[in-house]
Amino acid sequence: MKPDLVRREANHVALTPLDFIARSADVVPHKIAVVDGERRFTYAEFEDRAARLAGGLAARGLREGDVVSVLAPNGAEMLEAHFGVPLAGGVLNALNTRLDPAAIAAILGHARARFFILHAALFKLGAAALAAMEGPRPAVIVIGASEAERDAVGGEDHGDVLAKAARHPRRAPADEWDSIALNYTSGTTGRPKGALYSHRGAYLNALGNVVTFGLRPESVYLWTLPMFHCNGWTYPWAVTAIGARHVCLPAIDPARIFRLIEEEGVTHLCAAPVVLTMLIHAPEAAGLRLSRTVEVATGGAAPPSAVIEAMERMGFRLTHLYGMTECYGPSTSCFPQEEWSDLPLEDRARLMARQGVRNITLQMQDVIDRETGLPVPRDGATLGELVLRGNTVMKGYLDAPEETENALADGRLHTGDLAVIHPDGYIEIKDRSKDIIISGGENISSLEVEEALYRHPAVMEAAVVARPDPKWGESPCAFVTLKPDAEPLTEEDVIAFCRERLARFKCPRSVVFGPLPKTSTGKIQKYELRRLAAEL
Amino acid sequence: MKPDLVRREANHVALTPLDFIARSADVVPHKIAVVDGERRFTYAEFEDRAARLAGGLAARGLREGDVVSVLAPNGAEMLEAHFGVPLAGGVLNALNTRLDPAAIAAILGHARARFFILHAALFKLGAAALAAMEGPRPAVIVIGASEAERDAVGGEDHGDVLAKAARHPRRAPADEWDSIALNYTSGTTGRPKGALYSHRGAYLNALGNVVTFGLRPESVYLWTLPMFHCNGWTYPWAVTAIGARHVCLPAIDPARIFRLIEEEGVTHLCAAPVVLTMLIHAPEAAGLRLSRTVEVATGGAAPPSAVIEAMERMGFRLTHLYGMTECYGPSTSCFPQEEWSDLPLEDRARLMARQGVRNITLQMQDVIDRETGLPVPRDGATLGELVLRGNTVMKGYLDAPEETENALADGRLHTGDLAVIHPDGYIEIKDRSKDIIISGGENISSLEVEEALYRHPAVMEAAVVARPDPKWGESPCAFVTLKPDAEPLTEEDVIAFCRERLARFKCPRSVVFGPLPKTSTGKIQKYELRRLAAEL
């Protein structure tokens, strides 16, 4: 390379989401950026508050690479932290609000959090976590709490910090590979691990989301997805990048969601299928028809056909995404082919239940044989492990070199999800590896059994796990929640229903009725169900 | 950085537009990607043909970094070259089809082109350029020419090359900073210079264009803009990235453009204002109303209000962009603020005539005092030089270290365009530095005089340059093309019209009627007008 053609300041700058808020504050300074209850902030105010948070943190000694943990519901302060923390050179650790104090204490300790921003709505949880900590404690900044509460944790008031702080000047990280966020996996799979995201990856994933989800400057994004969940799938950065509007929602409340959609002109939202189920079964949903189409991205589990149908009837349009903490949230989506729109709902739902194809910013997805590491045939039948590669794969786990090595071995992120690849190149996840039930030497996909259960008109939610079986090794055990207005159902009814749809060996041998335990991100806690099944 | 958290194959891949065609071929293989006259290629075929071109070039000895020059009208082969050449490791040099043989020979020599792909429609021009070359000649591949023509230049048939070639495997560049394209400036400003683009810059500018122009998978893009012009403003990569459809157009032909818009369902096109003027004045435009809104991005010169009005009446929606060869084409756009839509046309046109704000992938735009290098006040009046910074600024000029240094000095691309910055942060170009007329010590913006001339109902095109003046040093000289149906107009009429609108010293002192000389990219050749003015 000739010396005059090397990277230089004029033509090579770090990719960073910090640029998104700077640009939107320049281009649409007076536009409302954030709606949070009665509060409304313009883009100029949004950037100003983020810059003051950064200035406040810097003044309190934050150094490059320090972790700032935040425990707060979806709201303006959490959005601001997505920009203010990295602006000061810090790494944002958005905490799952549904964890218990011990788990939060463990994360604060493992992350060596230098600051802890705690919202009054979660004060008890945060205070208990601080009390449970063993090592050094972070400096505490409390949002909206009373003086007594602040004193109890030795915390400063967030509003005071902002009011007294100087605006941190705009900056880019020295290297786009620098960390911007630290996200702990939700813990369905053993001890939590902290996945590190880079500025580069966050920038690209956010821009990819703008393209994949079709965000435009006039879009209005409703925060049904928790911002602590893979940084809200990177939408705090994506919505800001395009200069659209954030509408915050501190908790899932169907009546409020329907009201905000109409009052604020919501055009886009993301939500797990369990939230869609809540929307469908809310009293307000009866006969509802939205005044305009609302785009909904859903992931974490495939949306059942009944959910697709009910959502579409109200005026929502669903896209099924797939992702995980290790890849900045969404990485694949079930891109709808033109010809699908003519298909009957059942066929369309079957196609849409697939996790689909790689998003524009992911470089590679494939399904590999776990023994040989080679791609499985594209036959829609051969099970293998889903692997991903690209700039939107995490840097690795914090202080866990062995787990990092396992996850990123041989140039691919090993998702641990078992999938098939269809002839059209769409992947479909059949199970988490640990969710395979092995009964009499035969593999049974718990997802396949669940899909059969979901077809029963009385079933609202279902989960299937392995139950130890003296004869078969394991047998499928079903946990079922019935719809509020459903007629009573017996174990035999359920098993008979499955036998009409599944091979006999795949049918549940035991059925338990009642509410399902969920993780903090709304995923069904299969390990808890496994424990219950073992005790039956 | 801990060793387990460094960049590695799983989480750090080169940004490259090569990924766009691979993904679209995976996701929408059977969708029509390219329409070129009677030919239609699916994305699978598009990728296959590009991969065969790459295979053919590699088999003929192309090495990493070799330049492949292409002289061809907008068509499938030129699009394929945008992927096939870099896939083989080459650097694409798309040649301006309106240059003369000597200029093309000079570029082929300067670029040390290893291959020269020549379309039969431009055979004479290409053959003459080869004959005019002094140094070693490139290997020649001819598209659609006769055997006799091929023999005359010692060329191989493009179709044969593809038919016999093996598909080049998918690959990414070793480094995203590697060059993907070499574009020579169009030569209004002295000797041509070759601006080098990187894979990284091309990837980002293309993705930025998808976002800025709102391209969607269902979009249909009409190729009114030459693909040799800054690689068609990077739209060969952008349209492919989103998996939309390219509709080729070998030459500007208003009747064909209107027909293709309706027949192919065109949704987006880019064009210089001169093309828009042609559309407006075409016989087919009379009373035309498109069956759907077509988005038009225009740049190179500000669209006059009459053009905006006439285009909108037909159903086009205009966005004004700004860019140059040195920054991958479009870098800023006149983002329309919500409140503008309520303004009267004249006010809106005045706002839209501004070059606007930085695009999402540009990091910085500013207007600086040429003496101090400091930003000028945001007063809409103080003239300075427009400077840019970001990943979408060229690597530099090929074999021109001094020009590179001048262009990229002090961490900014110096555009040479004189601009003001308005209180709302929108930049407005007042002139190329050399287009300022200095008369009696007063600076006169030729653009300001032109804008006045364009308001005359009989004027179709106008350009103003400095004419040497014994008393004042220079005086403004106007060149005017009247509308085909306009009443005759005298020099005095024009000057009197200007005096009602401009300070007396700014008004033209001489007016010449007739067609205006244009550069190959449709820009008015001001240096030619200056020569004519000097000879008056």
The verdict on B240 touching A (C-beta cutoff 8 Å) is no
Comparing B162 with A469, the larger pLDDT belongs to B162
Give the mutation candidate from B4, B6, B11, B334 for the A interface (greatest A CB count, under 10 A).
B11
A393 closest CB neighbour out of B4, B10, B27: B10
Residues of chain B positioned with their CB less than 8 A from the CB of A7? 177
Tell me the nearest-neighbour CA distance from A359 into chain B, angstroms: 9
The verdict on B31 touching A (C-beta cutoff 8 Å) is yes
The verdict on A31 touching B (C-beta cutoff 8 Å) is yes
A395 closest CB neighbour out of B11, B204, B211: B11
With a threshold of 0.85, tell me whether the complex ipTM lies above it.
yes
CA distance B333 to A23: 13
The verdict on A462 touching B (C-beta cutoff 8 Å) is no
CA distance B389 to A323: 34
The verdict on A217 touching B (C-beta cutoff 8 Å) is yes
Q: What is the model's pLDDT at position B502?
A: 82
**pLDDT average, residue stretch A344-356:** 91
Q: Residue A348: helix, strand or coil by DSSP? A: helix
The verdict on B60 touching A (C-beta cutoff 8 Å) is no
pLDDT one-digit tens code per residue, B396-431:
999 999 999 999 989 999 998 999 999 999 999 987
With CA atoms as reference, report the closest residue to B430 among B365, B382, B476: B382
**pLDDT average, residue stretch A170-190:** 84
Q: How many CB atoms lie within 10 A of CB A39?
A: 11
Burial B52-74 (b: 16+ CB within 10 A, else e): bbbbbbbeeebeeebbbbbbbbb
Answer whether A11 sits within 8 Å of B207, measured CB to CB: no
Answer whether B10 sits within 8 Å of A360, measured CB to CB: no
Provide the phi-psi class of A372: left if phi over 0, else alpha when psi is between -120 and 50, else beta: alpha
* A vs B: CB pairs below 8 A: 142
- List C-alpha distances in Å: B35 to B173, B217, B271, B297: 29, 16, 19, 21
With CA atoms as reference, report the closest residue to B79 among B283, B274, B293, B231: B231
Answer whether A360 sits within 8 Å of B242, measured CB to CB: yes
Q: How many CB atoms lie within 10 A of CB B236?
A: 29
Q: Residue A337: helix, strand or coil by DSSP? A: coil
Residues of A numbered 244-303 whose beta carbons fall under 8 angstroms of chain B's beta carbons: which are they?
A: none
**pLDDT average, residue stretch B463-469:** 89
Which pTM value belongs to this model? 0.88
With CA atoms as reference, report the closest residue to B92 among B59, B116, B56: B116
Q: Residue B72: helix, strand or coil by DSSP? A: coil
The verdict on B347 touching A (C-beta cutoff 8 Å) is no
Which residues have a Cβ under 8 Å from the Cβ of B431 and sit 6 or more positions away?
A: B417, B418, B445, B446, B447
Helix ranges (DSSP H) in B436-490? 446-454
pLDDT one-digit tens code per residue, A198-230:
999 999 999 999 999 999 999 999 999 999 999
The verdict on B408 touching A (C-beta cutoff 8 Å) is yes
pLDDT one-digit tens code per residue, A304-339:
778 888 999 999 999 999 999 999 999 999 999 999
Answer whether A363 sits within 8 Å of B13, measured CB to CB: yes
Q: What is the model's pLDDT at position B4?
A: 87
The verdict on B389 touching A (C-beta cutoff 8 Å) is yes
B242 closest CB neighbour out of A177, A211, A413: A211
B5 closest CB neighbour out of A15, A196, A338: A196
DSSP track, A440-473 = TTEEEEHHHHHHHHHTSTTEEEEEEEEEEETTTE
Domains (range + CATH), chain A: 50-194 (3.40.50.980), 252-432 (3.40.50.12780), 440-535 (3.30.300.30)
Residue A126 has pLDDT above 90, yes or no: yes
Tell me the nearest-neighbour CA distance from B338 into chain A, angstroms: 9
Q: Residue B384: helix, strand or coil by DSSP? A: strand
B7 closest CB neighbour out of A177, A210, A399: A177
Q: How many CB atoms lie within 10 A of CB A261?
A: 23
Token pair in block for residue B225: 């803009």
Q: What is the model's pLDDT at position A277?
A: 87
Comparing B116 with A467, the larger pLDDT belongs to B116
Tell me the nearest-neighbour CA distance from A279 into chain B, angstroms: 29
Residue A168 has pLDDT above 50, yes or no: yes
The verdict on B32 touching A (C-beta cutoff 8 Å) is no
Question: A123 φ, ψ to 5°?
Answer: -60, -45
Nearest-by-CA chain B residue for A208: B207
Nearest-by-CA chain B residue for A210: B211
CA distance A176 to B194: 29
* Percent of residues, chain A, with pLDDT higher than 90: 76
Answer whether A5 sits within 8 Å of B196, measured CB to CB: yes
B390 closest CB neighbour out of A13, A20, A360: A13
Mean pLDDT of chain A: 93
**pLDDT average, residue stretch A182-193:** 70
